Amino acid sequence: MNGFLLCAALLVLGMAVGSQAISCSNPESLKGNWVIGVDGKECVALVKEKCSGMRQYSTHSWRRGKHVRSNCGSIPRWTAIATFLDGTKYRGHAAIFESCAPDGIWVYDQWNTAKVDRRKIRYGNSKPNYNGDNFYVIEL
């Protein structure tokens, strides 16, 4: 019986830990620079290198968490976020969340032709990767 209770407690703890937002270091000092990692200068390199425990996970391990726009007030500043255009698996763009605005979300991001910067990703953008409506908290 004690073994069963221990297993049940560990399962519940694992579910709680796995569903928490992934915190990132403050990216403000990185503006104008590249963050280069195993993924080169891509957007995921910034997230993997600057967010807690992300480096060892491939994007195939990322899962869709809370919808950013719908939960803006409860998502901590400097949280790892991404688009999950295929449903629950990552596809698209990754960034570090800063805050919400009435017309979009403020993030720090980079991509292979743009160095780290603070950008507003507007809601309703016709490009799915850069539409603030399509961002979710990354979970592992």
Active site residues: 43, 93
- 3-state secondary structure string, the chain? CHHHHHHHHHHHHHHHHHCCCCEECCCHHHCCCCCCECCECCHHHHHHHHECCCCCCCHHHCEEEEECHHHHHHCCCCEEEEEECCCCECECCEEEEEEEECCEEEEEEEECCEEEEEEEEECCCCCHHHCHHHEEEEEC
